[in-house]
A and B are shown apart, each in its own frame.
Chain A
Amino acid sequence: MKKPDRDNLRALFERFMSPAEAESAAEDVQAGDEMLRAHPAPEPDHEMMLGIKLQMAARLSGRHRTVHHLYRLAAGVAAVVVLSLIAFHSRAPQSNPGLSHAALIPTLIWESDDISADDIKLAYFTSEIRQIEAQVQALEAGESQDAGVGTLDEVEMELAQINTAFWKE
């Protein structure tokens, strides 16, 4: 089995032992190889080989079928994705009303990920607006102690300032 000249045994052994020892070791290995060659192992019989070939063919055929099914499945998934994209794009213009609501919210708040900070700002602006609304209502109803055109103008200006500050945020 082993090609006798595959390794230069003696040179190989000489890397690890004296030349005399290397020569003896190389001879031992060659004699061992001869002994193994003189006692060949049994060989696989024809039926066994045929059986293995059939098993391999069956496995390959099964694998081919699996790959074919996977391709079909992938094609199906791709078709669903394409149809979904077409449906999404064809409906996109109808969803514009939703965008107009989003446009009412300041861009920074809309895009911000800091929910807690944004909530505080919103709560602050909301309470300010409510307070001013209450003042305006009180003035209109004549309940305010400092009723007068000047006061009403002041409150309206304050409301305008808060509104501007809100959109700046």
Chain B
Amino acid sequence: MGEGVELTRIIAGCKSGDADSFAQLLDAYARRCYGYFYRLTGDRDLSEELLSVLFMKLVEKVGSYQGGSFESWLFRIAANIFHDHLRARKRRKKLLDAQRTELGSVPTGLPKSDGKDEKLDRLQMQLGRLDTDTRELIMLRFYSNLSFKEIAELRSEPIGTTLSKLHRGLKKLRGFMES
């Protein structure tokens, strides 16, 4: 990805409201951000939606970017968007459960993963066996290109905790993949 001067130029263009600069930013980061969302949700349509939300947020918030690691800033927003999605899904699930209990009906055959008939690859299926936090940590490190120090700061936890969780998570995932 365009680092240094090139990225600075693109961000300056975004701050001045230049649509072409935003398009360049999307070209530069869409693949990684989309991969991050896809590996967390396993749903292409939903990942597209979250990617769109992310870049709409960038349009609104790029003025507040004060320098420092842009990727750290970008993936912090991406992580927040994913958490918002999780919270919204939890609320919807609670509501549906409550309605189902009220009606006393049997399961309505709701799909398990966001209503989409995804043909999941093997890695995606095994990732689903990890808890959300570990999955998120592994994907954040893989897609964001951040150092452990930056990831630990982003997650507001000691670097030792981040290292340990990532090590355990990856080892577990390899175990699942090899079994």
Partner of A49 from the list B30, B38, B160, B171 (CB cut-off 8 Å) is B30
Q: When the two chains form their complex, are residues B59 and A60 in contact, meaning their CB atoms are under 8 A apart?
A: yes
How many residues from B make CB contacts under 8 Å with A? 43
CA distance A33 to B166 in the complex (A): 11
Q: Given the known inter-chain contacts A1-B32, A3-B145, A16-B160, please indicate yes or no for A53 contacting B23, CB distance below 8 A.
A: yes
Nearest Cβ in chain A — how far from B21, in angstroms?
10
CA distance A52 to B27 in the complex (A): 11
A59 beta carbon closer than 8 Å to chain B: yes
Looking at chain A's contact residues, is the secondary structure mostly helix, strand, loop, or mixed? helix
Question: Across the interface, do B55 and A40 meet the contact criterion of CB distance under 8 Å?
Answer: no
Q: How far is the CA of A48 from the CA of B27 in the complex (A)?
A: 11
Q: Report if A55 contacts B (CB, 8 A).
A: yes
In the complex, are the beta carbons of B22 and A53 less than 8 A apart?
yes
Distance between Cα atoms of A55 and B141 in the complex (Å): 29
A91 an interface residue at 8 Å Cβ cutoff? no
Number of interface residues of A (CB under 8 A): 36
User: Do the beta carbons of A6 and B147 come within 8 Å of each other?
Assistant: yes
Chain B residue at smallest Cβ distance from A47: B48
At the interface with chain B, which of A7-15, A111-119, A130-138? A7-15
Which of chain A's residues has its CB closest to B18's CB? A60
Contacts of B51 in A (CB 8 A): 44, 48, 52
Residue numbers of B with Cβ under 8 A of A are 17, 19, 22-23, 26-27, 30-32, 34-35, 38-39, 44, 47-48, 51-52, 55-56, 59-60, 121-123, 138, 141-143, 145, 147-148, 159-160, 163-164, 166-167, 170-171, 173-174, 177
Report A's interface with B, CB cutoff 8 A: 1-3, 6-7, 12-13, 15-16, 25, 28-29, 31-33, 35-36, 39-44, 48-49, 51-53, 55-57, 59-61, 63-64
